[in-house]
């Protein structure tokens, strides 16, 4: 399967600042990537679908101006949490849509803590 990395693995920031999280597909050209958010002891919630070269598709209730997604190349998608607040503290996970229509390969996640 595809190897997916995320950077940083952990980040702590002050309230009001912006944080960028990178998702890289190391060995696979990913036309489509997904961004999920996971709160403690809860399931994964899809935030948006990121398509290379076009605007991301956001799920209902996810603010596109707050969670900026850029998928500028086939191997990199970025999620920027703008003006972060403590309630944005969460585990953010990206995934890559693989060869098969139902194959998803997940990154290791990024733990964001907003003070």
Residues that bind another protein (CB under 8 A): 1, 4, 34, 39, 41-46, 49, 91, 93, 95, 97, 101-109, 111
Q: Which residues pair with 17 in a beta bridge?
A: none
Smallest separation, CB 21 to another protein (Å): 13
Query: Nearest approach, Cβ of 19 to another protein (angstroms)?
Result: 18
| Nearest CB to another protein, comparing residues 8 and 108 | 108
Kindly provide the b/e burial profile for residues 4-34, where b requires at least 16 CB atoms within 10 angstroms of the residue's own CB.
Answer: bebeeeebebeeeeebebbbbbeebebebbb
- Taking the complex as a whole, the smallest distance from the CB of residue 29 to another protein amounts, in Å, to 16
What residues pair up with 54 in beta bridges, in sequence order?
Answer: none
């Amino acid at each position: 399967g595809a190897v997916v990395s995320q950077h940083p693995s952990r980040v702590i920031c002050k309230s009001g600042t912006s944080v960028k999280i990178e998702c890289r597909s190391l060995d696979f050209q990913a036309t489509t990537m997904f961004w999920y958010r996971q709160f403690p002891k809860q399931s994964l919630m899809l935030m948006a679908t990121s398509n290379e070269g076009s605007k991301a598709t956001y799920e209902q209730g996810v603010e596109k101006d707050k969670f900026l997604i850029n998928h500028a190349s086939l191997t990199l998608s970025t999620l920027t949490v703008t003006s972060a607040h403590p309630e944005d503290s969460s585990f953010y996970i990206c995934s890559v849509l693989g060869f098969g229509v139902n194959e998803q390969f997940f990154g290791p996640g990024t733990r964001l803590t907003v003070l």
